[in-house]
Amino acid sequence: MASSSSSSVTQLESWRTLQDHYDTVASKLQMRELFLHDGSRFDKFSRTFAGELLFDFSKNIVTERTLELLLQLAHEAKLQDAIQAMFSGAKINTTENRAVLHVALRNRSGSPIIVDGVDVMPEVQRVLEHMRQASDSIRSGEWKGFTGKRITDVVNIGIGGMSRSYALHARTTAPLTLSFSFSFSFSLSPSL
């Protein structure tokens, strides 16, 4: 199992090479100049996946050399092994000594994801269905608040980056959820 912590990654030779590239080249680049001097920059620095998902990194300070160096870093850090470990249910969350189940939450195929010899997908599917039913009953007004009135305000209290993603999601889907007011409180402090 690959388990490169961020501190060990910064000790790799490919990291030092990438840092040197940034210090000597990339830190001096200007986005406007990159587009001005390369009319095909968007084509070079964007990819489309599954015919629908556009990953556009042309508006980042990257060159073809930067991409080569990033790929070298990924190879030296054994990123592919780490990805395989995540998908296989290995315990790569070293803080909590457990598997990370991001892939199980997004596994719409229902194909088994085995953690400690157990397929976690039936339980994941059960919880996701419960969440769907609960959210449907809140949206429909069937589930009432403490006062017996329809729920109109949603408060999310969380720690870490996922809490920020909920806030972003609520903002981007606001036109679909006009009957609700969303509030978010989160901390990115690792000490919590």
Residue 178 to residue 147: CA distance in whole angstroms: 21
pLDDT for residue 63:
95
pLDDT for residue 23:
97
* Beta strands 181-187 and 46-49, pairing class: unpaired
3-state helix, strand, coil in the chain (%, to 5): 45, 15, 35
Q: How far is CA 34 from each of CA 28, 30, 59, rounded to the nearest angstrom?
A: 11, 6, 9
* Beta strands 153-159 and 181-187, pairing class: parallel
pLDDT for residue 20:
97
pLDDT along the chain (192 residues), means of 10: 61 97 95 94 94 92 95 96 89 88 85 90 94 90 93 79 69 69 71 46
pLDDT for residue 3:
46
pLDDT for residue 192:
44
The phi, psi pair for 109, rounded to 5°, reads -75, -20
